[in-house]
Amino acid sequence: MFKKLALISAISVAFAANACAALKDGEYTERVTGHNAPLTITVKVADGRIASITTKDLESPGVGKVAIAKLTKQVIDNQTVGVDGVSGATITSMQFLGAVKKCLAKAGADMNVYAKKVPAADKKPVTEKADVVIVGGGGAGLASAVSALENGANVIIIEKLGFLGGSTNVCGGALNAGGTKYQEALGIKDSPNNHFENTMRGGHDVSDPKLVRVLANGAPDALKWLEGMGLKVNPKVGAATGALFQRSHYPDPAGGNTYVVTLENALAKYGPDRLKVFLEAPAKELIVKNGRVVGVKANQKGKPITALAKNGVIVTTGGFGSNVEFRQKVNTGVWKDADLGKQIGCSNISVAAQGDGLKLAQKAGAELIGLSDIQVHPNGSPGTGLMLDIKTSGRNRLFINTNGDRFVDEGAPRDVLARAVFAQPGSTYWLVQNVLRYPDESKIDLLSGRTMKDMLEQKRVQKAADLDELAKMINVDPQRLKAAVESYNKVARHEVETDEFGFKANHTDDRPMVDGPWYVAKKVPTIHHTMGGIHIDTNAHALNAKGKIIPGLYAAGEVTGGIHGANRVGGNAVADLMVFGRIAGRNAAQGK
């Protein structure tokens, strides 16, 4: 009798719990602050369950948008918001899950049920074998993977983030190459040798000329290689901030994520027997046996992974720009008089740009060179250092300080621009552009990857009808601002050859800035690239302190040193990761 009553009681409790947990059908919407801009989340409940989640957002392709897609599927599949966020998209993940939780609360959800944690995955250790193991699935890692696969290898990618592409996803996308058909069509005379000379000069002549020669000579072929994978190139050749010449090629659509998508599409044709990818799996150690690097140990949320490499391991983990403690420690070079502490942001994905690969390679015997060569970019957003709105890249833009004056040649190298910004009141300035740059507010900007309407909605950019309104908006004397604009226009109209800052109108896009509307955004310096890293040779082999090859170890991309010298020329990063990623993948596949 008592057992029967107990059973009836248990059934009643369970029924009551299910009734309490049941959701009321309908659509529920929440608007929250995302990483880039507000997110609008709508949860549809049908038959008492989460049926769909739709999102209106301006999050970054390849990063925030990937996180939203992953989390949407997990929440629906598991009928709970108790899922882990996506590494590398922490803010987006947190805000998305928070908004869904609020929507469910509106639907009458019992959050003891709908916030229940999803059980952890199996943590049994896994050992995998391949010809080539790549540590880091960013741009250089993906280029290495495609190259290795093209050369017959089986490949494993070990990636610490929850998505592929790394910080390449959020870069502007400029790829410098000299003597291309796109330049020729525009009447631009250039060559790989000119690219070489500009890169050496821009790096203050401390780069390894052998590496720079490989970069310059290989860039046009790397561009063709990408086109062979389906990359569409915008025929308008630009000049990235500090590019020193009009040789920056951009993908269409704009932005670094287009390269990532192109490489991912190329990888997709290889099945799981040829390619395995482990996400959310930071590498912990390079396995060295008898002086040769033979594999990688990683950990995927508590699951030990051992990836053994028959022919080689390629390190492509990016730089250390977000590791404040480390960058302060090594800041003994050109920025030693500047405080690069936590008040200076970083334009890259913070969890990615920690310098993990440097430590792994150094422990395996690799020499680290040029660590004090840190690039500060003038295009940071106040508070974060991210570059989310109008860009300093391109032409027809003015650097205006808080007094309303120009203070630098806007076409100067990045280190010159950033140093000039540090010298201004408050170490900040206004980036001013006009209708020349944005004739159509609904068109995606070549350099920012967003429309002006998007940027205005984010409220990081302000719009003025004329210079008088602009002066009032940024609180400067209108006559002083007009004089600053006119100083630029005199050069652009070729009334004078140069101005007091050294600006010359030698670019096909240099034109007088006269008509409104005008667009303005506040800017600050930000850490953008770390030029030092693993010492490599022209075949992407990692070298020890004696200049000897470390058998089985290769490196490519921002994790390496010697290519960019003391200052990276704008537009050379993508060229670097494609050229040397391709080399590393080929040589590792062939065991050369």
Kindly give, in sequence order, each residue whose CB lies less than 8 Å from that of residue 120, ignoring residues fewer than 6 positions away: 301, 302
393 and 237 in contact (C-beta within 8 Å)?
no
Characterise 109 by phi-psi region: left (phi > 0), alpha (psi -120 to 50), beta (else): beta
86 and 70 in contact (C-beta within 8 Å)?
yes
Both tokens of residue 128?
A: 């995998």
Q: What is the CA radius of gyration of the chain?
A: 26
Residue 205 dihedral angles phi and psi, to the nearest 5°: 60, 30
Residue of 247, 414, 437, 450 with catalytic role: 414
Residue among 300, 1, 360, 24 nearest 157 (CA):
300
Residue 267 dihedral angles phi and psi, to the nearest 5°: -70, -30
Strands laid side by side in the 26-33 sheet: 26-33, 38-46, 49-56
Characterise 355 by phi-psi region: left (phi > 0), alpha (psi -120 to 50), beta (else): left
| Residue 574 CB-half CA count within 13 A | 32
Tokens 């741009």 identify what position?
Answer: 139
Residue 414 is a catalytic residue: yes
238 and 446 in contact (C-beta within 8 Å)?
yes
33 and 95 in contact (C-beta within 8 Å)?
yes
Cα of 115 vs its chain's centroid, Å? 32
Three-state secondary structure call for residue 4: helix
Cα of 349 vs its chain's centroid, Å? 6
Report CA-CA distances (Å) from 375 to 197, 263, 369, 371.
19, 27, 15, 11
587 and 312 in contact (C-beta within 8 Å)?
yes
Cα 24 to Cα 186: distance, rounded to the nearest angstrom: 61
Query: At 516, which amino acid appears?
Result: G
| Residue 50 CB-half CA count within 13 A | 26
Active site residues: 414
